[in-house]
Amino acid sequence: MWDLHDLYASPQAWQASYEQVRAQAQTLDRFKGTLGRSADALYTALDAISTVNRVSDRLGVYASLLGDEDLRVAVNQERRQQAQDLATQIAAQTAWVAPEIISLGAAKVQRFESERAALQQRFDFYLTDTLRAAPHTLGEEAEGVLAAAGNVLAQPEAIHDQLADADLPYPQFRLPDGSSVRLDEPAYEKYRQASDRDERRRVFDAFWGTWSSYQGTVGATLTTQVMGDVFTAQVRHYDSALASALFQSNMPEAVYRTLVAQTNAALPTLYRYLRLRRAQLGIQGPLAYYDNYVPLFQPAQPPHFPVADAERITLAALAPLGPDYVAMLRSGFTSRWMNALPHPGKATGGYMNGSAYDVHPYILINYNDDYDSLSTLAHEWGHAMHTLLANAAQPYEKSNYSTFIAESAAISNEMLLNDYMVSHARTRAEKLYYLGAGLESIRTTFFRQVMFAEFELAIHQEIEQGRPLSGARLTQIYCGLLKRYYGEAEGVMTIDPHYCIEWAFVPHFYYDFYVWQYATSMAGAAAITDSILKEGTPARDRYFAMLKAGGSDYPYDLYKRAGIDMASPAPYQALAARMNRLMDEVEALQREGDAGGGRPKAH
């Protein structure tokens, strides 16, 4: 269990800090009209605003983490709302800043930076990015209105999370031994892996049957989210919601378009994997959607990894990242930064929250002692290590890195872990098991996330083109994508329409074009890990330079400096090639087994 005392000694201490910062936030508009007086005036204003934001971030982390410990505790959810309100107030009180900086012009801003070193050291990237956004920055009054609307625009996600994590009446599911479990998200993720096909079908029927009962409600919630995204894009004069989302990280639209095109071109690789799955499971005829999650290769005794073992293995697997990285990770493991085990009321899923710049990152996972949990632990600690490296190298104002970079840091850890498990497998069955897990990771993190991205773009375009959305329409759109990605027309998999409600379950659709970054990051991570394993120290140094850069530059440029052009087909084609290589290795091991070969060689 994590220890939140590093953030605040008590809820009362949190409340005292909250009141103090709220009072400070209400005075920030005193700097209005002063930014152009001198370099010192500009620095003084930005420093005061940054100080308030820094404490507000810390308040938000505490409120969010304490709220996620038990979503049923109303006072903790109310504290989370207080923190969100405060962030909205600060945004409203400082909505004038960007228009005023833009009015100064680039020449004057650059002169001020040359006159005050601290201004350039802390705020140069912010100032450059603000000036870049001039065509999409509104007047002071309009910026204030948009900032004040932040709480309202955040409500669709809050409603979805409350329903999914606390209020949805998940069914009781009877297990083969006669006992029953509440089929909430963690239980669904566990029991959908059942080796018995009929049990998997019953898990899907029960879980998605419950979600289907709320198709209209969740459809209205997601439609509201999309409307909010489109509204914000339109009032800021973007061509589309996608263009708005990409602008924030200065990401060329060619990256998104290339990703989607290359993923569709690589669908035959996915079909090859699914046919391999069908053969291994001994299924006659097409696969069903509920056949996706049973491990492709299951040892007689499934591997079992308590948290302590997972930490030990992760340290060994990440040795290619060097002794300094491993030592820092070991220190994190010995600290109380992680809430690991599932319990009633706890938020589902997993995440790293590193927004408390002056403290340390925190991690939430729902650990089930299996390989997937081990991989998740390595993933989330990849985020934590990225945060530690960026915070050590950058001031607060340039520490908040892009998701594009963040996910590469996490997925690189997953890939190194998988490579380690394959190379250290004690038997052919174990080796096949981990190869299967590596293949499944590519299916879920690459192909599945790009499918999500296509869905997200499609539903935004529906609203942008004046067409209505509903729960039923969302299900229809999602169903079409499932059929294409999983090869229904090619006879690979049959999609039961009852499972097309899956879109309602995915919280990432409330994050405004977030999911596709997992896929680009996986392609980037594959290139990064391959280069580290082949080149050693030079590649590792380039990688760490990218992580330490934090938010001091745009992610596309940081990737390019690390030797990867995310707008070219190369990284996506390399990932598809990696998937084919894994399947080649699987098939070679299967042939070896058929020929009566022995244990794999030691590594």
Reduce the DSSP state of residue 362 to 3 states and report it.
strand
Helix 74-93 × helix 39-69 angle, to 10°: 160
Total number of residues shown for the chain: 603
The residue to which tokens 């973007």 are assigned? 238
Identify the DSSP state of 340.
Answer: -
Q: What type of residue sits at position 475?
A: T
| DSSP secondary structure string for all residues of 75-94 | HHHHHHHHHHHHHHHHHHHT
**Cβ neighbours for 423, distance < 8 A, ≥ 6 positions apart:** 603
Do 244 and 254 touch, CB atoms closer than 8 A? no
Sequence-ordered list of residues with C-beta below 8 angstroms from that of 532, at least 6 positions apart, any chain = 320, 321, 539, 540, 543
Would you state the structure tokens that stand for residue 372, as one six-digit string? 């997937």
Tokens of residue 535, six digits: 């080149």
Q: Which position among 380, 407, 456, 462 bears the catalytic label?
A: 380
Count the helix, strand and coil residues of the chain and give each as a percent rounded to the nearest 5.
Answer: 70, 5, 30
- Could you confirm whether 380 is annotated as catalytic? yes
SS3 of 492, please?
coil
| C-alpha dihedral (216, 219, 221, 222), degrees to nearest 10 | 180
Write the CB contacts of 379 (distance below 8 Å, at least 6 apart in sequence).
350, 410, 411, 413, 414
What is the three-class DSSP state of 470?
Answer: coil
- Using DSSP's 3-state secondary structure scheme, residue 250 falls into coil
Asked if 463 contacts 477 with a C-beta cutoff of 8 angstroms, the reply is: no
- Rounded Cα–Cα distance for residues 458 and 452 (Å): 10
Q: Are strands 338-339 and 351-353 parallel, antiparallel or unpaired?
A: unpaired
Report helix angle 155-162 to 215-235, nearest 10: 160
User: Amino acid letter at 531?
Assistant: S
Query: Any idea which residue has 């067409």 for tokens?
Result: 467
User: What is the C-alpha separation between 494 and 263, in angstroms, rounded?
Assistant: 21
Q: Which residues, listed in sequence order, are joined to residue 363 by a DSSP beta bridge?
A: 338, 352
CB 50 within 8 A of CB 21: no
- Cα-Cα-Cα-Cα dihedral of 194, 429, 368, 421, to 10°? -150
Q: How far are the Cα atoms of 21, 62, 76, 82, 334 from residue 9, in angstroms, in the given order?
A: 17, 10, 15, 18, 20
Going from the C-alpha of 483 to that of each of 227, 267, 490, 493, 500, the distances in angstroms are 27, 12, 10, 8, 10
Question: Annotated active-site positions, please?
Answer: 380
